[in-house]
Structure 1
Amino acid sequence: MAPTEPTRPTAGRRPDVLLVMTDQHRAGLTARSGYPLDTMPFTDSLAAGGTDLVRAYTPNPTCVPARTSMLTGRFPSAHRVRQNSTARHACYDADLLDVLRGAGYRLHFAGKPHIHRGPDDFDAWAGPYWHTGGPQHSEEHAAFDAWLDGLDHGPSEVATPFPVQAQLPHRIVDQALADLARHTGPEPVFTWVSFPEPHNPYQVPEPYFSLFAEEDVPDRLAGPEVAERKGGDTAWLRRLVEEKRPGYDLLWRRYAASYLGMLRLLDDELRRLVTAVRERRPDTLVLLVSDHGDYVGEYGLQRKGAGLPELLVRIPMVVHGPGVAAQTREELVSLVDVLPTLCELLGADVPAGVQGRSLAPLLAGEAVPPGEFGSIYAEVGFGGARYGPEERPPLHFDYAGTSYDELNSVTMSGGQRMVRAGDWKLVADDEGRLELYDLSEDPVELVDLSEDPARAGVLLALTRLLAAWMIRVGDELPTGAYTAKRPPHGWRWAEHGPPLPAAEHHTDRSPRRDR
């Protein structure tokens, strides 16, 4: 049976679940999404045969806050993990692992964790893998990891001098499949495969290194001069990178070509993984997500670290398996929706304090309320007062080489919140600054319309909407004597949602993959 044609679930038995997460994987870079290069053909085939959620968002473009949100169904302002170093402080009633354990699942993990859970919380644990290495089962693995670490998180200008078998995704899939093969019992299995790629360091072996030539990489929409024009955290980060890696932007096409090659390598490993999993149990439900995006050279930046641009907050999200319709959905959804969705699909209770919305009716092809899915929210920032552009507090990574910490105390100081509705996007910060963008005309957010009198009505509507979202994500925990109302599917705005901004100034309302 082809891996893209799952069977119906076995009567009386919950299906196996395979959750695949990539790291720093920007949306919109596949042929199906309109990109001119065919980077991930297998992933595109899964999207074509399942539900392709083309407007999915991370709740926070930072690894640990985003992953904690996925596991708890709560936004960072509620689960309180706002930076990578505070996972142990996650606040929640019960998370995805608790729900699955209660539903009788065996829990398997392979790859990069960066979560508030550890090896003892799983029945099988293959890791931890980080961005420069993991468990080593041969001398070649050890040599590759040492070479990888020597890149100092920068891009390699030459093909990786080790075979695909040494790459972390290949090793992770090997271990995940070995753990599955050892389980012969009747219990359903939840397998979380967490790839460290396409996160930096940017490297890839042949044939992937030469698969996408530098000259074939599409021109970027915004170069380093735009970072200076945008100012603020974006300009500060650009200057930091230039100080640490003088002339780094001259390599942006090589970096981008390797990033695309990493996507194809991941795609091939995903094909191997899903094919084997579906051969074992054909009715396995497959979810593909990422924690956040990557600049991939836009603004003259690499990696992540400043603000809430679409480049960082939009993520790929595909669901494929039993009961999932073959369709493209343009509703605005989030990583926090994963937990309540799996709860409904598996017939489990949704834990207290969950803020996400179940996508189960949407995955089945049903109509959903525009008030509930016509907008989405995200946040970023470590809190505290904002550092000024002249300040240089210590970076929390003490690198001996030339690398830098993009999630530093300056670009992450204070806080920002965003809301998107239709093609409009509003970003607000803790000092009262507002930015308003029309993404249909300005996909990389270069023209701030917040002071445009002609957009005053849109600004007011989005400000109201952002206020409603910020109240909505206020924490319900701890529970007490009073019972919070739990609407079906967690859809709080199904009937009387906040008003969405009018879009009558857009004459072309046809769907676009790049929005």
Structure 2
Amino acid sequence: MNAPTAAGQTPDRPNVLVFFTDQQRWDTTGGHGNPLGLTPVLDRLTERGVHVEHSYTCQPVCAPSRASMQTGQYPTATGVFRNGVPLSPEVPTLAHHFRAGGYDTGYIGKWHLAGDGYTGAVPEEYRGGYEHWLAANILEFTSDAYGGTLYDEDGQPHEFDGYRADAVGDAAIRYLERPRDRPFFLFLSFIEPHHQNSRDDYPAPEGYRERYADPWTPSDLTALGGGNWAEHLPGYYGMVRRLDEVLGRLLDTLEAQGTLENTVVLFTSDHGCHFKTRNSEYKRSVHDASIRVPSTLSGPGLGTGVRLPQLVSHVDLPPTLLDAAGLPVPARMQGRSLLPLLRSAGDPWPEEVLIQVSESEVGRALRTRDWKYGVVAPEADPWREASANRYVDAYLYDLRADPDELHNLIGDPAHGEILHALRQRLADRIVESGEPRPDIRAAALD
């Protein structure tokens, strides 16, 4: 074993830190034009690293997205196609791959991959292979904004009484400051800025909601009307601001240790938030408000001040982390490492991302640079069926002319040619994801 260095890692491997938020829209960050100054720390990290300008979840709901982030596979491939389905202990995760590469692995925060049978403590077999553990399966059910419980690797409860994001950040700092003779892989999973389920509220730290009482509002929300964004944006923004402050404390800790320059940092979120403007809750739709998230990479070998214009899926992030650590990318991962793009090499990058939808509908969507095309399976049960053999057209948006996705063109006969092409492209991507080729038909119009 290599001797530990003052930086806390073996000299041939970087540390890896994932800062994972919950339900954070892409346009909450300064890098995406938000004018409120919510994310100065993240914006600086983006400026000195890689701004993944077009980053998308592959399933806009918590558990499926989290399974994809752990495995580099689509939800239907992991089996976690909706909330409440456990990630099988037989499925290799990032923790397994990093442990095999000589890493100390840690998970802190919200897990949501142990199934409906567990709310707080998670049995070892359902922890995805992580060694250090301080988490709750469904953290929103074991905590509130101030106070709650996390559980360690022995299943013992750890109470906290401060603001929840601070408590998770404090636990991460304690982990970072532990002596170790291996590099670390730490997956840090917050619930913020997700709503507090028990009261359908966005509880910012004390005094933070008031800072954003007259908030800048994304154009899709104002154009759509309805929903509850007017009530909840101030709290939501306050939660985003506090997350950025926690990120700052973590980066300061790494810098004080002398480890920051040798640490790969990924910031991303599991899905976005449309504030009940697209359906009866906050996500589970094909629209960019649900599927587009902020993503930034920083660290050794990744470049400085890079703006990556390609469309990137969550399934691409796990292979990127392994590649950045110099570890092999397993063939079963369905995404691609971004590193060849950063080196201006490699095969051509796909021109679209595939989205799977469950719970609200059994659906599939294709997001290209110019178009959003989505289909649904009307006869399928979105809580019991992961996929379908037959879909019908449901959504078509011209994203150049209509970036807020206000005008569904699916019934416009003038778009028959583009619809035909998109049907073929979507069917191809569905097959690539591991599903049988579906029958996709035009919707019956009234």
Aligned twin of 1:127: 135
Label 1:298 to 1:47 Cα distance change in 2 as closer, same or farther (>3 A).
Answer: farther
5 Å-filtered alignment, 1:103-182, equals 103-116=101-114, 118=126, 121-128=129-136, 130-131=139-140, 133-134=142-143, 144-145=146-147, 166-182=162-178
Aligned twin of 1:64: 63
Counterpart check, 1:186 vs 2:181:
yes
Label 1:29 to 1:434 Cα distance change in 2 as closer, same or farther (>3 A).
Answer: same
Counterpart check, 1:439 vs 2:386:
no
Amino acid corresponding to residue 299 of structure 2 in structure 1: G
Which of 288, 297, 317 aligns to 1:310? It is 288
Label 1:424 to 1:143 Cα distance change in 2 as closer, same or farther (>3 A).
Answer: closer
Q: 1:324 Cα deviation (Å)?
A: 1.2
User: Does the 8 A contact of 1:224 with 1:301 survive in 2?
Assistant: no
Q: 1:89 Cα deviation (Å)?
A: 4.0
Which of 190, 195, 198 aligns to 2:193? It is 198
- Taking structure 2 as the reference length, the TM-score comes to 0.80
User: Does the 8 A contact of 1:177 with 1:273 survive in 2?
Assistant: yes
Gap runs ≥5 in structure 2: 1-6, 115-124, 149-159, 197-201, 379-391, 437-446
Label 1:376 to 1:91 Cα distance change in 2 as closer, same or farther (>3 A).
Answer: farther
Q: Distance in 1 between matches of 2:54 and 2:161?
A: 34
Q: Distance in 2 between matches of 1:180 and 1:209?
A: 30
5 Å-filtered alignment, 1:234-245, equals none
Label 1:297 to 1:36 Cα distance change in 2 as closer, same or farther (>3 A).
Answer: farther
Aligned twin of 1:505: none
Amino acid corresponding to residue 240 of structure 2 in structure 1: L
User: Does the 8 A contact of 1:226 with 1:299 survive in 2?
Assistant: no
Which of 246, 264, 271 aligns to 2:248? It is 271
User: Does the 8 A contact of 2:8 with 2:183 survive in 1?
Assistant: no
Q: Distance in 2 between matches of 1:175 and 1:225?
A: 40
Aligned twin of 2:431: 471
Label 1:261 to 1:69 Cα distance change in 2 as closer, same or farther (>3 A).
Answer: same
Aligned twin of 1:83: 82
Q: Distance in 2 between matches of 1:88 and 1:9?
A: 31
Q: 1:216 Cα deviation (Å)?
A: 3.3
Aligned twin of 1:416: 363
5 Å-filtered alignment, 1:396-411, equals 411=360
5 Å-filtered alignment, 1:381-400, equals 381-382=358-359
Q: 1:200 Cα deviation (Å)?
A: 0.4
Gap runs ≥5 in structure 1: 1-7, 135-141, 147-163, 228-237, 239-248, 383-410, 477-515
User: Does the 8 A contact of 1:428 with 1:435 survive in 2?
Assistant: yes
Deviations 1:247-272 (A, max 9, x none): xx4xx323101101111011001100
Q: Distance in 2 between matches of 1:374 and 1:26?
A: 22
Q: 1:349 Cα deviation (Å)?
A: 2.5
- Taking structure 1 as the reference length, the TM-score comes to 0.69
Counterpart check, 1:460 vs 2:437:
no
Q: 1:304 Cα deviation (Å)?
A: 2.3
User: Does the 8 A contact of 2:63 with 2:82 survive in 1?
Assistant: yes
User: Does the 8 A contact of 2:89 with 2:128 survive in 1?
Assistant: no
Q: Distance in 1 between matches of 2:8 and 2:147?
A: 41
Q: Considering only CA atoms, is the larger Rg found in Structure 1 or Structure 2?
A: 1
Deviations 1:335-359 (A, max 9, x none): 1112221232223222242111111
SS of 2:400 mapped into structure 1: coil
Aligned twin of 1:138: none
User: Does the 8 A contact of 1:287 with 1:319 survive in 2?
Assistant: yes
Label 1:367 to 1:373 Cα distance change in 2 as closer, same or farther (>3 A).
Answer: farther
User: Does the 8 A contact of 1:200 with 1:303 survive in 2?
Assistant: no
Deviations 1:444-502 (A, max 9, x none): 322122232332222122111101101101169xxxxxxxxxxxxxxxxxxxxxxxxxx
Amino acid corresponding to residue 167 of structure 1 in structure 2: Y
Counterpart check, 1:323 vs 2:288:
no
Amino acid corresponding to residue 352 of structure 2 in structure 1: S
CA RMSD of aligned residues (A): 2.8
Deviations 1:382-428 (A, max 9, x none): 5xxxxxxxxxxxxxxxxxxxxxxxxxxxx24xx10001122211001
Q: What number of residue pairs does the alignment pair up? A: 387
Q: 1:71 Cα deviation (Å)?
A: 1.0
Label 1:74 to 1:453 Cα distance change in 2 as closer, same or farther (>3 A).
Answer: same
Q: Distance in 2 between matches of 1:335 and 1:219?
A: 23
**Which shifted more, 341-350 or 435-444?**
341-350
Percent of aligned pairs with the same amino acid: 32
User: Does the 8 A contact of 1:169 with 1:269 survive in 2?
Assistant: yes
User: Does the 8 A contact of 2:219 with 2:404 survive in 1?
Assistant: no
